[in-house]
Amino acid sequence: MNLTLEAPRLTAHDRCDRCGAQAYVKVLLEAGGELMFCAHHARAHQDAFTSVASEVIDETERLHLKPEPVED
């Protein structure tokens, strides 16, 4: 069986529009444009953006991943 994992769509260069922390949620707006949020601000503003979003990319599960050991 071949398993293809989707690479994260958000990187360390993506920053929260509210506080500048690393963004883990990207909201694509129906009217065009996008908003980026850290996990904290995404939870705080979720009720406001869900009604105007065409897509929400939520990668907050990455916060709980443990890095795999590097083998030499």
Q: In terms of pLDDT, which residue wins out, 25 or 67?
A: 25
Is 90 exceeded by the pLDDT of residue 70?
A: no
pLDDT band at 67 (very low <50, low <70, confident <90, very high): confident
- Measured CA to CA, the distance from residue 41 to residue 20 in angstroms comes to 11
| Single pTM value for the model | 0.79
Among 52, 56, 51, CA closest to 10:
56
- Measured CA to CA, the distance from residue 1 to residue 22 in angstroms comes to 34
pLDDT in tens, 55-66: 999 999 988 887
- Measured CA to CA, the distance from residue 54 to residue 21 in angstroms comes to 23
Is 70 exceeded by the pLDDT of residue 50?
A: yes
